Structure 1
Amino acid sequence: MKLDELRTLVVAVDTSTDMLACAVAWWTPEVFLDDTPSRACVEVLSSRDHACRRRANVELIETIDAALADAGMTRGDVGGYLVGRGPGSFTGVRIGISTAKGLACGANVPLMGASTLDACAWSAWQAGTRGRLAVAADAMRGEIYPALYDLDDEGPHRLFERERVVKAAAVAEEWAARVDAASLQLTGDGLVRHGALFEHMGLMEHALPRELWWPSGAGLLSAAASPEGLAAAGSTDPAAVLPVYTRLSDAEENERRRLGLSESPNAMLTGVAEELAGRHLQFRPMASADAEAMAELERVSFEGAGHAPWSATAFLSELDPDAAAARSWWVAHDDGELIGFAGGMVVDRDVEILDVAVAASHRRSGIARKLLAHVSYDAQVLGCTTSSLEVEDGNEAALSLYAELGYEAVGRRRSYYGAGRDAIVMHASLPLVLPLDPASPEPTAASARDWPLTVPQRSASELDLIARRQPVLAIESSCDETAVAVIDAEGNLLANQVSTQIDFHARFGGVVPEIASRKHVEVIVGVVDAALEEAGRSLGLGEGPLMPSELAAVGVTQGPGLVGALVVGVAFAKGFAYAADKPLICVNHLEGHLYANKLTTPDLEPPFIFTLVSGGHTMLVHVRAWGDYEVLGETLDDAVGEAFDKVAKALGLGYPGGPVISRLAETGNPRAIEFPRALNSRGDYRFSLSGLKTAVALYIEQETAAGRTIHLPDLAASFEAAVFDVQYKKAKGALRETGAREYCIGGGVAANPHLRRMMIEKLGRQGIRVTVPPQHACTDNAAMIAVVAGEKYRRGEFASLDVDADPNMTL
């Protein structure tokens, strides 16, 4: 660990297993080469290792605090953190790493990661074990993470290159067949679940004592301090510390099957793509139905290019599952119209880009980049490390694009496109240099800078300004967007940053929880950094970002939402708040959608009626006072946003469905198709959309069977009308029954212009003041969480650091 001082207080934690490992130690580098230590001496001051099944997020911070107290230290004395990166329990690894990232960011100190398997081996070494050691760490699903080490007087030495996951039975057979099987010493928490299996294979004779089967804090410290550990750690920037994954998410495993692969590679990165797309475009794998449109776009794009365009038959042949080389083809479409495509063929760990085309009306908008991003991502999954292509000499736009992506000219093919028209051969290493959506911060922005950050020297007037403004930082990670905002005491939004995953999930037709969680872990540091930078600019500070120590409090979405996604935000926020010594504020995501209306109407006050329409919730609420909510009715099945997504998927319009259906409905006739309005009787405030969804699917099936072309604008407009008519009628009834004279709306579907316009016009004619949140505050965002957090800060409603995510939290 590169440290300014020769001796630094380090806190080590690991939550990858049922053992919560925690130790506090002095860390002293021994040898410096190029100002980098090659080994470190560790002096353990205290240890709080203890069994902690499924309670790591509840107990971790208090365990760290107790270990520091045992050592006679405080959080302010800590000069660095160390975390076990796994492999292990997916949730456990994320809790440890997210908390550690928050701790390091909040204290502005280095963070280092180390292998949990190495920690197990070092724990055994510290107990006096020498010789050949086999670690069998539990991976669930009947699998283990196997690892072999040689333990001599210097320490454990790996006999494997990278972590992997294997069926326990296969590992038992493999180890039993070894020539040294009789002397093989076993350890690891996988022996708890699979001990009988290893016993049957005659391998448990030299198993270590049960208390050594789990990693320890001291073992983690020794693993990180070894030359191998220091070499593997790399950067001490919190943004660069990521979990050790040995398998892809299930959704990505299905992608591999689509690409003709049967097994996952042994080493995975985060399993998420970096490319981001605007919501108006959809990207998906090519299907046979695209061939004709692709051939037409090819003909128009390359007319007069000097070579024969691809035919529909040629494109269809690219989908042949028996092709000798693997292929990846992606298409881009807008409102059902194919506007671009790209494809490549894998040849000996290189993906050769075969064809790229974008409609003239959509060029210079980043579509080709995003298509190539998808193709190159598939290629990496297929094991490729490079990419190659040919482009006509003189095509400056294409040459410039490919150069920006990392391609370099490596050769020339004379007259490749006809007499005197040469092709430039270009080559790039994977991953490509991919630009991001400008609305999103660079996910790993911090890794491009020195860490820790330089602490700004504030003037007295700047310090006074910060104290008066009382900035509160808020984190939102309930679903598929990592968002961070900063708000001041007067309700001014100082920063609002969002890193969206929407285009990546679009390839699967909806949010994949496991991928969402992985992406949150990957980008959260960068988004927090971007928000603090923006807040510093908004406050007019002369130097550097707003620092964690300058915040008044830290807020975070506690629930409801996807548990794996929520855990990341909550764990990071707790570590961040603890290290910065700031109060923690927990926010209900649903209440955030309600409060988003105060961004538009600051004087909004109860009583009023509120409709929440999002991808996961549909409810009608009587807001009697802030914090006093009566839920009048909820959906019995699908939420409104969910129904939009399912209808769009049935029509092949991509994900998310709301924006594309809204655009189609602009030119459609809402009375063209009579779809049902469920639970539409007076006084019934419940919602049901499954019947409507089924009616739409039946209509599509009947029209297709009859050979009639479906007029998408009419279908979209009629579907919207069926949904929104019910929303209006129930809101009108609730206003009449309660006597409230104000109405507001929230959630992703609240961004729909037709719903907003209808509610404002129809209810406005009845003397009801209608408030709608800003468009950017309808979908999941941290601005709305910051508004609630700011209110709670002023009321002194703080949370303890033993809180956990609550995926089922209600309003």
Structure 2
Amino acid sequence: MELNCDRYLVVACDTSTDMLACAVAWWTPAAGAHEHARIEVLASADHLCRRHANVELVNSVKTVLEDAGKTMDDVDAVLVGRGPGSFTGVRIGISTAKGLARGANIPLHGVSTLDATAWRAWAAGVRGSVGVAADAMRGEVYPALYRLDDEGAHRQFERERVVKAQVAVEEWSALPQAGELQLTGDGLVRYGARFEAAGLTAHAVSREQWWPTGEGLLLAAAATMGSVPLDRDGDPALVLPIYTRLSDAEENERRRLGLAESAHVDTTGVADELAGRHLQLRPMGAADAEAASDLEVRCFAGAGHTPWTPTMFLEELAEGVAAPRSWWVAHDDGELIGIAGGMVVDCDVQILDVAVDASYRRQGIARKLLAHVSYDAQMLGCKTASLEVEADNAAARALYEALGFAETGVRRGYYGAGRDAIVMSTTLPLVLPVDAASPEPTAAAKRVWPAPVPERTEAERAAIARAQPVLAIESSCDETAVAIIAADGTMLANQVSTQIDFHARFGGVVPEIASRKHVEVIVGVVDAALEEAAASLELASGPLMPRELAAVGVTQGPGLVGALVVGVAFAKGFAFAAGAPLICVNHLEGHLYANLLTTPDLKPPFIFTLVSGGHTMLVHVRAWGDYEVLGETLDDAVGEAFDKVAKALGLGYPGGPIISRLAETGNPHAIEFPRALNRKGDYRFSLSGLKTAVMLYIEQENKAGRPLHLPDLAASFEAAVFDVQYKKAKAALHATGAKEYCIGGGVAANPHLREMMIRKLSRQGIRVTVPPQGACTDNAAMIAVVAREKYLRGEFSGFDIDADPNMTL
């Protein structure tokens, strides 16, 4: 059968293993639907590259293109290994490939790294049964069986999975073809002795073939996409790593809740149904007694039900109660909005109370609260659950029936004359349906890709040339942010995709979730910024295109290494493909420069306080780029201390906004908390002692059975933190003679801190600058301001830079 005459130039890369696989090839599609595409490799740069993939990948792509006599302008599509493999390695490969494809406006296609390894063996002449054991670390492998014949490598499994290496040994030893099984894969480097002890390595392929290659990637894709025209579809926003499990934090949470496997783990690697700030749940504490009683009043006043009093809740939580209890609360940003509790009696948990604020109903909150209570009851040996519900309460009866409860009796007049109670019971665990329906297609899934290239008018081209737009990417923690700034300082776009819902239930940022979400959303955030910039520049013909950018900036550090890696890898691929210079930005300097968004004429020398979730420092800014760090925290950062205190109080995450709101009605002098390192000339900070003092106060009040007055506690805690910030800033201003002061970081959004610094320092003739509220927490606008300054000075970086999680100011 004749092959199509069309052919495509493809760049293939993979960093899922210690092998950096990279090749450029001609791809000629097959004429038939079940035939393989024809591959002609023009150049390759496969090489072992342990822990340096982010440093070497883009330059490896550059090298193979140069060796083939091509440039990115000639490339029709990008092919990337999706893993499974090293988590960091997979993300480097996919993020770089996303950047290449989005920067060049060409398709991106993904292929299994396991398939690529099997096809490498096929290309080397291996035939018969082959077992690929890819290294998953932690004593685990990704096992995959193939049958290799003259036609190619054929999968003998449905989906990738991860198992303990010993499990793979036992499974493969039990195969009928175990004696002829030919092993390959980088897992043999670490666990080969286990396979050898079982007699499985007698026919292992040669060691140099244990890793995937660029050719292997191309052959694997050619077998599954043989007749696919590579210049269509292939939206880079939709290419994600192959996930075999959730993050450890999510796995533990799902097991604790008794939930089934996540419906979307294969798609995103994150349990989306565990997200939701309205579903933050925790055990009830003594500090909740008053709020729980208030909720009871709101829910049941006038309904013939006598609301529980704070004392009644405290008695339920007291040590030494006759029967074990389980009480849980739900909250939204610190406001208690749901409760449920039960008492264990003879292997049955009797549900004592369920209440959800009227404005939060129909969100599954009662269902999830009862799931926690029933889980605790199971751990205490319960087999059944029972409750009473008013006969006329149709909504509540429907909820309990959906959870598996059935009517077992009637108590006449239980709620008053003529108001019967229906007794309902069920066996444990509760029925907890998980909505496994596929989500609606995202905007990215519906769009046409590659994006149509706008036909610019002369006026539009002139507007872009005047603007010299610089795009900046921020991914240091749990926000994926992209901003675009003009050379004159005009902010053309500012987009943020927050992950706060995914981290809230864990009381803080889970690095593995943060990294996975960055990979998932980064293309979409870039697209949104390019569209917003086009609107700002009044480009009616279409969104700003990557090749119309003057430069690409990115946060290099400090931050979470897995999160930084995604942004840096994407930015490098994006800038290289777009033909734009790359600019690296220090995240801490970004917080400093954010003040220029409010006060463009701010000039050194001045004193700067950085107060964020990861950093607390006092800086003498002698000149732009010339910084003297006068003092830093010896332990907890300010934002971290707020989060820990909020967590101890069960108020949720992030703690800063919650405590700030509570403090508005509190007395800052109600509780005398310590002020550490409050000595003249000492610019260091320490918050561990204050945090411990707060914890001890909470413990003492709980033991005494006294409900905490949260507003007073919050206000007193804030006062202890901010008094020290003010005194040290004042001392530094006096010592240096500076007449300007500014602040930055997530805690700089706190209205009480901002107001105090402005009020007190202004009285002393100091001009105080505070950044816009939206530019205090992590954002790309502040990164764009720094990137613009570096662009104007011509300070560019090479494509061999890597993320630096420990970067200092």
Normalised TM-score (structure 1):
0.83
Shift of 1:301: 5.3
What letter is aligned with 1:808? N
What letter is aligned with 1:209? S
What letter is aligned with 2:11? V
Cα deviation 1:762-801 (Å, max 9, x = unaligned) = 0000000000000000000000000000110000000000
> Which of 545, 558, 561 is the matching residue for 1:560?
558
1:618 and 2:616 correspond: yes
What letter is aligned with 1:430? A
Tell me the residue number matched to 2:436: 430
C-alpha distance in 2, partners of 1:472/1:740? 32
Q: Could you tell me whether the CA contact under 8 Å between 1:61 and 1:801 is conserved in 2?
A: yes
Tell me the residue number matched to 1:412: none
Change (3 A) 1:640 1:734: same
> Which of 42, 47, 52 is the matching residue for 2:44?
47
C-alpha distance in 1, partners of 2:157/2:85? 17
Q: Could you tell me whether the CA contact under 8 Å between 1:188 and 1:214 is conserved in 2?
A: yes
Change (3 A) 1:296 1:667: closer
Shift of 1:342: 11
Deviates more, 1:66-75 or 1:472-481: 66-75
What letter is aligned with 2:12? A
C-alpha distance in 1, partners of 2:31/2:340? 51
Please report the RMSD computed on the Cα atoms of aligned residues, expressed in angstroms: 3.9
Change (3 A) 1:300 1:648: closer
Q: Match of 2:460, SS?
A: helix
Shift of 1:171: 1.1
What letter is aligned with 1:29? P
Q: Could you tell me whether the CA contact under 8 Å between 1:102 and 1:571 is conserved in 2?
A: yes
Q: Could you tell me whether the CA contact under 8 Å between 1:741 and 1:769 is conserved in 2?
A: yes
Q: Could you tell me whether the CA contact under 8 Å between 1:276 and 1:500 is conserved in 2?
A: no
Tell me the residue number matched to 2:653: 655
Cα deviation 1:135-178 (Å, max 9, x = unaligned) = 01111011111000011111111111111111111211221222
1:179 and 2:176 correspond: yes
1:200 and 2:197 correspond: yes
Shift of 1:198: 1.1
Tell me the residue number matched to 1:332: 331
Q: Match of 1:44, SS?
A: strand
Tell me the residue number matched to 2:720: 722
Cα deviation 1:419-440 (Å, max 9, x = unaligned) = xxxxxxxx99535758xxxxxx
Cα deviation 1:383-437 (Å, max 9, x = unaligned) = xxxxxxxxxxxx9x99xxx9xxxxxxxxxxxxxxx9xxxxxxxx99535758xxx
Tell me the residue number matched to 1:242: 240
1:57 and 2:49 correspond: no
Q: Could you tell me whether the CA contact under 8 Å between 2:558 and 2:806 is conserved in 1?
A: yes
Q: Match of 1:30, SS?
A: coil
Q: Could you tell me whether the CA contact under 8 Å between 2:10 and 2:26 is conserved in 1?
A: yes
Shift of 1:63: 0.5
C-alpha distance in 1, partners of 2:368/2:107? 34
Shift of 1:249: 1.1
Tell me the residue number matched to 2:346: none
> Which of 734, 737, 741 is the matching residue for 1:736?
734
> Which of 199, 224, 227 is the matching residue for 2:221?
224
Change (3 A) 1:291 1:172: farther
Change (3 A) 1:791 1:726: same
Shift of 1:235: 5.6
Q: Could you tell me whether the CA contact under 8 Å between 2:257 and 2:371 is conserved in 1?
A: no
C-alpha distance in 2, partners of 1:299/1:38? 70
Change (3 A) 1:80 1:142: same
Tell me the residue number matched to 1:475: 473
C-alpha distance in 1, partners of 2:121/2:476? 39
Change (3 A) 1:368 1:332: farther
Shift of 1:709: 1.9
What letter is aligned with 2:769? T
Deviates more, 1:265-274 or 1:159-168: 265-274
Tell me the residue number matched to 1:150: 147
What letter is aligned with 2:620? H
- List gaps (5 residues or longer) in structure 1: 317-326, 344-354, 379-394, 403-417, 419-426, 435-441
Shift of 1:282: 7.0
C-alpha distance in 2, partners of 1:298/1:181? 65
Shift of 1:260: 3.6
The 5 Å alignment of 1:23-42 reads 23-31=23-31, 39-42=36-39
Tell me the residue number matched to 2:634: 636
Q: Could you tell me whether the CA contact under 8 Å between 1:91 and 1:564 is conserved in 2?
A: yes
Q: Could you tell me whether the CA contact under 8 Å between 1:493 and 1:783 is conserved in 2?
A: yes
1:129 and 2:129 correspond: no
What letter is aligned with 1:624? R
1:115 and 2:115 correspond: no
Q: Match of 1:756, SS?
A: helix
C-alpha distance in 2, partners of 1:803/1:594? 23
> Which of 481, 495, 498 is the matching residue for 1:497?
495
Question: Which has more radius of gyration?
Answer: 2
Q: Could you tell me whether the CA contact under 8 Å between 2:105 and 2:450 is conserved in 1?
A: yes
Change (3 A) 1:372 1:16: farther
Tell me the residue number matched to 1:324: none
Q: Could you tell me whether the CA contact under 8 Å between 1:276 and 1:501 is conserved in 2?
A: no
Q: Could you tell me whether the CA contact under 8 Å between 1:612 and 1:620 is conserved in 2?
A: yes
Q: Could you tell me whether the CA contact under 8 Å between 1:252 and 1:271 is conserved in 2?
A: no
Report how many aligned residue pairs link the two structures.
735
Shift of 1:95: 0.1
Tell me the residue number matched to 1:14: 14
The 5 Å alignment of 1:282-431 reads 283-284=280-281, 331-335=330-334, 337-340=335-338, 359-360=357-358, 362=359, 430-431=436-437
Q: Could you tell me whether the CA contact under 8 Å between 2:10 and 2:25 is conserved in 1?
A: yes
Normalised TM-score (structure 2):
0.84
Change (3 A) 1:370 1:797: farther
Tell me the residue number matched to 2:103: 106
Change (3 A) 1:535 1:275: farther
Q: Could you tell me whether the CA contact under 8 Å between 1:138 and 1:188 is conserved in 2?
A: yes
C-alpha distance in 2, partners of 1:275/1:690? 35
Q: Could you tell me whether the CA contact under 8 Å between 1:619 and 1:633 is conserved in 2?
A: yes
Deviates more, 1:15-24 or 1:259-268: 259-268
Shift of 1:257: 2.7
Q: Could you tell me whether the CA contact under 8 Å between 2:275 and 2:505 is conserved in 1?
A: no
Change (3 A) 1:296 1:556: same
Tell me the residue number matched to 2:163: 166
Q: Could you tell me whether the CA contact under 8 Å between 1:27 and 1:40 is conserved in 2?
A: yes
What letter is aligned with 2:10? V
C-alpha distance in 1, partners of 2:788/2:171? 58
Tell me the residue number matched to 2:349: none
C-alpha distance in 2, partners of 1:85/1:377? 36
Q: Could you tell me whether the CA contact under 8 Å between 1:551 and 1:582 is conserved in 2?
A: yes
Shift of 1:47: 1.1
What letter is aligned with 1:97? I
What letter is aligned with 1:333? D
Moved over 4 A (4+): 228-231, 261-268, 273-279, 285-313, 327-330, 340-343, 355-358, 367-378, 431-434
Q: Match of 1:807, SS?
A: coil
Q: Match of 2:29, SS?
A: strand
> Which of 445, 450, 453 is the matching residue for 1:452?
450
Deviates more, 1:92-101 or 1:235-244: 235-244
- List gaps (5 residues or longer) in structure 2: 317-325, 342-352, 373-392, 400-418, 420-432
C-alpha distance in 2, partners of 1:583/1:372? 53
Q: Match of 1:171, SS?
A: helix
Q: Could you tell me whether the CA contact under 8 Å between 2:743 and 2:771 is conserved in 1?
A: yes
C-alpha distance in 2, partners of 1:5/1:287? 70
Cα deviation 1:304-355 (Å, max 9, x = unaligned) = 9999999999xx9xxxxxxxxxx999833343x3225799xxxxxxxxxxx9
Shift of 1:291: 11
Shift of 1:42: 1.5
Q: Could you tell me whether the CA contact under 8 Å between 2:264 and 2:272 is conserved in 1?
A: no
Tell me the residue number matched to 1:77: 74
